[in-house]
Structure 1
Amino acid sequence: MKSLLAVAILLRKQENKKKLNNTIYIADDDKNLLNLYSSIFDSEEDELDFFSDEESSDEKFSIKLFEDGFFLVDEFKKIYEKGEEIPLVILDMRMPQMNGFETAKRVREIDKNTIVIIITAYHELSISEIRSELKTGIYYFKKPFNEDELYSLVDSALKQWNNFKELAELKNNLELKVEERTKELKKSKKLIEKAHQNIKDSINYASIIQKLILPNKTILSEYFSENFIFWKPKDIVGGDIYFIVELDSKEEVIVMVLDGAGHGVSGAFLTMLVKAIENQIVAEINSGFLEPSPAKILEEFNISLKTILEEGKSKIASIGFDGAVLYYNKSTNKCLFAGAKSDLIIVDKNGMCVINSDRKNVGFPRIKIDQKYTDQEIEVEKGIKMYLFTDGIVDQIGKNGKFGKSQLFSILSKKWSLDEVGEKVERAFFKHKSDFEQNDDVTILGIEF
């Protein structure tokens, strides 16, 4: 067991040793001093082989000895060009070909991080002059020097250098990871932006289609003296929709304002479905299979939507709407109204009144398939105004709470022209909404007989 533990410790030490760079280059023209350096740093070489490629077998330090700074610089440059680094050099100040100060400058030109220790018995240059030239990482020893102090300095300096390199490597690795991650995020961002743009383009196209299915409001001018429509989806597309249908008799018109479940894309899909059902209902009315009754129209919508729910085997799908339907025959002056949780506002010479609708929606799972709705006949005279609307405007949140029915009714009850009423409603809505997000789709349709 002990032998295995010893092997593990040894392997661990070897692993740690590989991680450290404790190489020292030493230049001095005095062979006795070179032997002393070898002894200080525990070199086991009996005879020093100058300029040899073999490094010391010392466990802690790896030293290489040179008789002159010129040879040290030449070797230093070759090693650096191979991608290796020499953490520390010890230089004698006076040498025949290249002195210690010049050698230190050349070394620093190659690698600015190499630690330099200059040892001399002379005072050719002051410490301040050397440090002003070489900046940081320069140490100065005067001969004769204390061997223990030199050893301690070298040991501490190499630890500092290796710590610095480790931190630099970690920093570099971190920067590379950050750079890679940034590239990945930018790539993902581009993919998301492209997907978002594709979705937005599709929704914009759906908006064009939705607007195309909205009726031509000029039909209203054939039956009513004035009219206005304020239609404002919450998003690019919406769940509110209105229909203005002139029947084949050319004497009858049906006006519908419907508030579909949801808004945005889901609401828009529902309006497409409702439009398809509306076409079928109108065809049945024109063919004489269905009487032009607002109540019957709502019932047909309900049956169709409920049938779709049953065929889709969905018991919880929110497919349905609140809505108001108005029928008018200009030859007989007959006007009928039916609503599914959507009231009719009438303003005449006597003031404003609310014609309440049935309190049942159309289509939703909780609504029975044979649900009945109620026709209410409205007496029509010249100058009477009628308003069909969804609840988007009254529920709109602003700084002072909801827009509310009282504010809406206050505007609708005024004796203004319909153009003025429409303008006042729209302006009041945006003023109340201010910087708040729009809550829901908004539709108001006004007509004057």
Structure 2
Amino acid sequence: MALSDTEIEKRKAVIATTQDENQKVTRIIDLAFDILYQNKVPQANALLEEAALLATQIKFKDGLGRVRLGKAAIAYFTANYDDSALYSDQAIEIFQQTNNKELLAETYTNLGMSHWSQGSYSKALDYVFKGIHLYQESGKSGRLAYALYMLGSFYLDLNDPDNAEKNFLASQKALEIGDPYSVSNARSWIGLANVAFQRDQYTQALECLDKALKLQEESNDQFGMSRTFNDFGKIYRKLNDIDQAYLFYGKSLNIRLQATDKQALITTYLDLGEFNFEQQEYALAVNYLQNGLKWAEKLRAKVKMYRAHLLLSQIYDVLEEYDKAYHHLKQHNEIKDSVMGKDANLKIRNLESQFAKERSEKEAEIYRLKNVELKQLYDEIEHKNQAITDSIEYARRIQNAMLPLHSDFLTYQEYAFIFYKPRDIVSGDFYWFTSIPHPDNASLELIFIAAVDCTGHGVPGAFMSMIGHNLLNNVVKQRKIYAPENILTSLHLGVKKALKQDQNDNQDGMDLALVVIDELEECIHFAGANNPLVYVQNGELHRIKGNKQGIGGGKHRPTKKFDRHTVSFKDTPGMFYIFSDGYQDQFGGADNKKFMKPRFRQLLFDIHHLPLIEQRQQLVDTLEDWMGNEPQIDDILVMGLKLGY
């Protein structure tokens, strides 16, 4: 309930005239909590200090414990989670000494909310179950209602509307037995509205929100109304009523900007970001999402952080800003794995060990709830594994968008082919080409082609490939460096800078073969970092080795120089090949050995006279025959260039 300044002064007057000192401490703390939720943190803190001084003088331990609870809330709202945990632990110690089960239950329930918002699902559920157990023992149905509401909210986050509904209805039933707080009852109606929302029952959801809003208006619960307004906006989005959605989101945002609890503000920012993304208002969407991400990072709200990163990645993908898209996708996956992977597995191990212990009849009932949650977790993990796979598949789309378009390659299909076979969904190998008008004759071109093999494969290799792709574009297109040996040197320095390799022991990088086709001079220039150029002219196979050094790494060797090699095809046509090491390193054959370099070069020689499309197919068929049932061990990339014919 929001208090006016006049009401606050009246309550202070009552406190001043209170004779019973225990009651006086209690009233001071009650007022501190009430104004804390009106974003009056300094005033609330001053009242708590006053209550602490008096409670210490009269040795009122429960009063001191409640002061610690208030301090924990202030620390939580200001993202000082370590201090919040410390104050909570102090409150628990006091309430255990006084055997005050109700206040101990309140502490546990608040800790559950705090840990859930930070993505620590296991700890959150443990604390909430402890709170429920103690509320049942103490017979405080009104407070039990809040813990059951919170458990219902957890189930909503896990997309389990059935269990969520059971807990929201149980919360309402507990309120009927205890004091029917209008604020608490409104919460349950909001919960039931979201159950209906998850079931696509939008009319029923709106009816539940109307009931919640009526109760909130009666008690002037501004913060509660901000939640209801936000959910109205969410439903009207689904109903495609754009004006109503904007209206209610705006009402929610206005309240939450002034509120103490910024967790709710993050939700509105993210919802508005997603909404504007749907409306193709990309600049607005990015602005809302970045504001939400800023607060989520400040509050360490991991669940909201990974949602923000995913939405930003999707927007930047649409805007074709692939660097930013990949950055946010990487952050999304890392955070999501830490929240949904490790914590869920930890929770399962904890629950399994707890089920093995003997429990009293009441404890067995509480832990029966955990058994239900255990099943939910197994389903959740299966769902999240699929979500991770979907995210990597999304990363593949971003990586494929980074590669030259098929339509671009068709321009050169008469004298080039590509055999590209990633080991995983995304790849550490990538091919790159671009062209510019020849500086000495604009009707002809300089054509730049690279076959690149990055450190690692799968997701780690794909991250490096993004760096390499962008640096190659920068070196040639922006900085206008055209000599292949200088391109590799600049690429090396760019990788070192991007990965800050002068400041750490990171040795990641890439091997590659780079050629520049000069249509005016009718020759091909080559420079290599560990990888060679193989070519056939006049029926003879030749190999030019690249320099024995890769791109990136070399903390104590900041500058690397590369050599240029030139082969003319003016009078002698030739078939030229550049590639990664994936093909020659593949295991298979009768003895399950590597294909090896000599066999690979012989294969290239044997097929060099065939049409390009048949050369590629021979590479595919030979590899499949060689592998048999053996798994692919690395990314594979082979490029062929037919010049001078």
- Asked if structure 1 preserves the Cα contact closer than 8 Å seen for 2:496 and 2:502, the reply is no
Tell me, in whole angstroms, the C-alpha distance in 2 between the residues paired with 1:223 and 1:437. 32
User: Greater RCO between the two (CA within 8 Å, min separation 6)?
Assistant: 1
- Does residue 448 of structure 2 align to residue 254 of structure 1? yes
Deviation at 1:254, TM superposition (A): 0.3
Give runs of aligned pairs for residues 299-310 of structure 1, distance below 5 A: 299-310=489-500
1:203 corresponding residue in structure 2: 392
Establish whether residue 267 from structure 1 lines up as the match of residue 461 from structure 2.
yes
Change (3 A) 1:205 1:334: same
Of Structure 1 and Structure 2, the greater strand share is in 1
Q: Where do residues 351-430 of structure 1 align in structure 2 (5 Å cutoff)?
A: 351-365=540-554, 368-381=557-570, 383-399=573-589, 400-414=592-606, 415-430=609-624
Q: Counterparts of 2:616 and 2:410 in 1: how far apart (Å)?
A: 16
- The answer as to whether partners of 1:224 and 1:447 remain within 8 angstroms in 2 is no
Distance in 2, matches of 1:219 and 1:180, equals 59
Q: 1:178 to 1:436 in 2, by over 3 A?
A: farther
Partner of 2:351: none
Query: What pairs up with 1:28-427 in 2 under 5 angstroms?
Result: 183-216=372-405, 219=408, 222=411, 225-249=414-438, 251-286=445-480, 290=481, 292-310=482-500, 314-365=503-554, 368-381=557-570, 383-399=573-589, 400-414=592-606, 415-427=609-621
* TM-fit CA distance, 1:285: 4.9
Contact 2:502 2:555 in 1 (8 A): no
Structure with the greater alpha carbon radius of gyration: 1
Q: Does 1:446 align with 2:635?
A: no
Change (3 A) 1:421 1:177: farther
> How has the CA–CA distance of structure 1 residues 209 and 224 changed in structure 2, closer, same or farther, with 3 Å as cutoff?
closer
Which stretch shows the higher mean deviation, 176-185 or 413-422?
Answer: 176-185
- Provide the residue aligned with 1:163 in structure 2: none
Give 1:442 shift: 0.5
Deviations 1:142-167 (A, max 9, x none): xxxxxxxxxxxxxxxxxxxxxxxxxx
- How far 1:186 moved relative to its partner? 3.0
CA apart distance, 1:305 = 1.0
Instruction: Work out the number of aligned pairs and report it.
Output: 274
Q: Give the counterpart letter for 1:293 in structure 2.
A: A
TM-superposed deviation, 1:329: 1.4
- For residues 406 and 448 of structure 1, do their structure 2 counterparts lie closer, same or farther at Cα, with a shift above 3 Å needed? same
**Aligned-residue offset at 1:365:** 3.3
Report how far residue 324 of structure 1 moved. 0.6
The one-letter code of the counterpart of 2:386 is Q
Decide whether the 8 Å contact of 1:240 with 1:259 is kept in 2. yes
Question: What displacement does 1:269 show?
Answer: 0.8
Deviation at 1:418, TM superposition (A): 2.1
Structure with more of its chain in helix, by fraction = 2
Alpha-carbon distance change, 404 to 367 in structure 1, aligned in 2, over 3 angstroms? farther
Query: Which amino acid in 1 is paired with 2:617?
Result: E
- Write out per-residue CA displacement over residues 192-244 of structure 1, whole angstroms, 9 at most, x where no aligned residue: 11221221111111101111111135555656742210111110001101111
Conserved 8 A contact 1:361-1:367:
no
Query: 1:416: how far off?
Result: 1.9
Q: Give the alignment's TM-score, normalised by structure 1.
A: 0.56
Structure 1 position 351, deviation (Å): 1.6
How far, CA to CA, are the matches of 1:214 and 1:378 in structure 2?
27
1:313 Cα deviation after fit:
6.0
Determine the C-alpha separation between the residues in 2 that align with 1:318 and 1:280.
22
Answer yes or no: is the 8 Å Cα contact 1:227–1:419 preserved in 2.
no
Residue 431 of structure 1: how far off its partner (Å): 1.8
Distance in 1 separating the partners of 2:486 and 2:566: 14
Q: TM-score, normalised by structure 2?
A: 0.40
Q: CA 1:194–1:368 in structure 2 vs 1: closer, same or farther (change >3 Å)?
A: same
Q: 1:320–1:364: 8 Å Cα contact kept in structure 2?
A: yes
Deviation at 1:308, TM superposition (A): 2.4
Distance 1:328 1:313 in 2: 34
Distance, in Å, in 1 between the alignment partners of 2:374 and 2:417 is: 49
**What one-letter code is carried by the residue in structure 1 that aligns with 2:436?**
L
The one-letter code sitting in structure 1 at the alignment partner of 2:465 is T
The residue type paired with residue 298 of structure 1 is L
Runs of 4+ in 1 over 4 A off after TM superposition: 175-185, 217-224
Question: CA offsets, 1:172-192, max 9 Å, x none?
Answer: xxx999998875553222121
Q: Aligned AA for 2:511?
A: D
Residues 1:425 and 1:417: Cα distance change in structure 2 (over 3 Å): same
Q: Distance in 2 between matches of 1:338 and 1:244?
A: 15
Go from structure 1 to structure 2 and tell me whether the alpha carbon gap of 1:410 and 1:177 turns closer, same or farther (over 3 Å shift). Answer: farther
Give 1:371 shift.
Answer: 0.5
Which amino acid in structure 1 is aligned with residue 552 of structure 2? G
Once the two structures are superposed, residues 295-320 of structure 1 have per-residue CA deviations (whole angstroms, 9 ceiling, x without a partner) of 1110000011112233x765222320
Q: What letter corresponds to residue 551 of structure 2 in structure 1?
A: V
Specify the code of the residue in structure 2 equivalent to 1:401.
K
| Cα drift, residue 339 of structure 1 | 0.2
CA distance in 2, matches of 1:193, 1:248: 53
Partner letter of residue 438 of structure 1? Q
Which secondary structure does the structure 1 equivalent of 2:395 belong to? helix
| Cα separation, 1, equivalents of 2:561 and 2:502 | 23
Q: Which amino acid aligns with 2:488?
A: L
- What are the ranges of 5 or more consecutive residues in structure 2 without an aligned counterpart? 1-358, 439-443
Q: Aligned letter for 1:277?
A: L
Distance 1:226 1:427, change over 3 A: same
User: Separation in 1 of the partners of 2:604 and 2:410?
Assistant: 20
Q: Give a deviation string over 1:110-167, Cα, whole Å, max 9, x none.
A: xxxxxxxxxxxxxxxxxxxxxxxxxxxxxxxxxxxxxxxxxxxxxxxxxxxxxxxxxx
Q: Is residue 348–residue 385 contact of structure 1 (8 Å, CA) maintained in 2?
A: yes
Alpha-carbon RMSD across the aligned residues, in angstroms, is: 2.8
Taking the aligned partners of 1:397 and 1:181, their CA distance within structure 2 comes to 47
Judged with a 3 Å threshold, the aligned counterparts in structure 2 of structure 1 residues 309 and 212 are, in CA distance, closer, same or farther, namely closer
Q: Which moved more, 1:364-373 or 1:388-397?
A: 364-373
Q: SS state of the match for residue 259, structure 1? A: strand
CA contact (8 A) 2:485 2:563 kept: yes
Identity %: 28
Check the 8 A contact 1:224/1:448 in 2, yes or no.
no
